[in-house]
Amino acid sequence: MPKFKFEKTFLIGKGKVAWYQKATIWAWKQHPVIQPFLIKMIQWLKQKWIEVKIENTMNKVDNDIEKIHDLWDEEESNKRMDTIAQNGNDGLHYFEEESVVKGLKNIGIGISTNS
């Protein structure tokens, strides 16, 4: 009579088998002498994979924050210019120039005395 073996994998999360689950199942099927080594190596790789994934996610969040800050700075500058435009330009001028300090700008509103 033929011998049947059944194997059941329980899926956690989105229902997809992760690479480390597949690798662990494979390791359990290997020779008993090397099983402990393979399983420890897979656990170590899983931990390194999680650390790299967290680092990549944090870098992505940092990049998104930079984009949001740039957008806010642009919107703030546009609001300033709109306010000056709404109040009329009768002798008013707005200027923005780079400062001696890196990353800062000198901003000013002046009155022209052209008669």
Question: Which amino acid, residue 80?
Answer: R
Percentages helix, strand, coil for the chain (3-state, rounded to 5) are 55, 10, 35
Whole domain around residue 71: which residue ranges?
19-88
**Are the C-beta atoms of 71 and 63 separated by less than 8 Å?**
no
In this predicted structure, what is the pLDDT of residue 115? 47
As for how many domains the chain has, the answer is 1
* Domain contains 111: no
How far apart CA 77 and CA 85 sit, in angstroms, is: 12
Local confidence pLDDT in tens for the 115 residues of the chain: 777 777 776 766 677 878 888 899 899 889 999 999 999 999 999 999 999 999 999 999 999 999 999 888 888 877 776 665 665 555 666 678 888 888 888 888 776 665 4
* Domain contains 13: no
Q: Answer yes or no: pTM beyond 0.75.
A: no
HSE value, Cβ hemisphere, 13 Å, CA-based, for 79 = 6
Q: Retrieve residue 13's tokens.
A: 């999360």
